[in-house]
């Protein structure tokens, strides 16, 4: 590739306080975790106060809000239930995401100890620890997530691209043309006043006659 360009001297050094304020990412091996700890019962209280109004008292989810616990063993079901316990590969992601982006609408209001406690409570809710469990920076890396081995990097170059590459059929192709599914049967698309899908282009013949919808 091209030789590295000479730095232009733009920008200024980031100060340690600035880096600490913004770079709060936690990596899968626990790098980035701050000092602190929290137990399941404290987590239960913090969760009840900050989280349960959407995610339920037991992290089971209210209405259509995300389910955080349950669904173990459902990943091959017709409708899988993908939760922290059933699906997520790393505990670091729970800590990192809750700390930076939750509660929804009031993010970055939880202390590190709050987040350790909530994380401990979510482990308990998913049946992964006992109710006297205390999570800390020190024992964080010891927690093994049930679905830690459940992911693999994109393999489309091996499993799909060879099959989908090459000259396609152009005539007398073996294609089934019986209609098997129709979206109108579900009738879940937003519609306009005329009953057609919202945004349907106007019939210019009707517009010319002055009968088009405004």
* 135-154 residues near other proteins, rule: CB under 8 A: 150-154
Give the H/E segment covering residue 118.
Answer: helix 112-125
Distance (Å, whole) CA 66 – CA 161: 34
In the range 153-182, which residues lie near other proteins by CB under 8 A?
Answer: 153-156, 159-161, 163-166, 168-173, 175-182
Q: C-beta of 25: minimal distance to other proteins in Å?
A: 6
In the range 15-34, which residues lie near other proteins by CB under 8 A?
Answer: 18-19, 22-23, 25, 27-29
Map tokens 């989908």 to a residue: 164
3-state secondary structure of 122: helix
Q: Is 53 in the site for other proteins (CB under 8 A)?
A: no
Tokens describing residue 83: 């939760």
Q: Select 130 or 190, whichever has its Cβ closest to other proteins.
A: 190
Q: 42 to each of 16, 28, 35, 53, how far by Cα in Å?
A: 31, 24, 17, 17
Q: Select 28 or 34, whichever has its Cβ closest to other proteins.
A: 28
Give the H/E segment covering residue 206.
Answer: helix 204-208
Site string for other proteins, 58-77 (x = CB under 8 A): -----xxxx--------xx-
Among 17, 158, 204, 210, the residue binding other proteins under the rule CB under 8 A is 204
Helix residue spans in 31-90 (DSSP H): 40-50, 52-55
Q: Select 18 or 138, whichever has its Cβ closest to other proteins.
A: 18
Map tokens 């809750």 to a residue: 98
In the range 110-139, which residues lie near other proteins by CB under 8 A?
Answer: none
Among 49, 101, 127, 138, the residue binding other proteins under the rule CB under 8 A is 101
Q: C-beta of 38: minimal distance to other proteins in Å?
A: 20
Q: Which range touches other proteins (CB under 8 A), out of 35-43, 84-92, 110-118, 131-139? A: 84-92
- Total number of residues binding other proteins (CB under 8 A)? 93
106-110 contact pairs (CB < 8 A, 24+): 106/50, 109/50, 110/46, 110/50
Tokens describing residue 201: 């282009």
Q: C-beta of 114: minimal distance to other proteins in Å?
A: 16
Tokens describing residue 138: 């020190």
* Cβ atoms 121, 59 nearer than 8 A: yes
Among 55, 90, 116, 143, the residue binding other proteins under the rule CB under 8 A is 90
Among 100, 136, 137, 141, the residue binding other proteins under the rule CB under 8 A is 100
């Amino acid at each position: 590739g091209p030789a590295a360009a000479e730095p232009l001297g733009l920008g200024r050094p980031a100060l340690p306080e600035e880096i600490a304020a913004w770079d709060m990412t936690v990596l899968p091996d626990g790098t980035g975790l701050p000092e602190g700890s929290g137990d399941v019962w404290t987590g239960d209280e913090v969760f009840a106060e900050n989280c349960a109004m959407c995610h339920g008292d037991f992290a089971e989810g209210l209405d259509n809000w995300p389910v955080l616990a349950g669904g173990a063993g459902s990943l091959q079901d017709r409708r899988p239930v993908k939760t922290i316990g059933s699906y997520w590969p790393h505990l670091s992601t729970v800590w990192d995401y809750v700390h930076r982006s939750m509660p929804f609408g009031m993010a970055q209001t939880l202390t590190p100890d709050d987040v350790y406690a909530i994380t401990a409570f979510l482990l308990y809710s998913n049946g992964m620890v006992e109710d006297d469990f205390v999570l800390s920076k020190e024992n964080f890396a010891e927690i093994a997530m049930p679905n830690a081995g459940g992911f693999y990097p994109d393999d489309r170059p091996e499993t799909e691209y060879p099959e989908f590459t090459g000259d396609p059929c152009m005539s007398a192709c073996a294609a089934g043309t019986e209609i098997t599914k129709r979206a109108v049967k579900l009738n879940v698309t937003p519609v306009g006043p005329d009953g057609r899908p919202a945004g349907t282009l106007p019939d210019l013949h009707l517009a010319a006659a002055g009968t088009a919808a405004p």
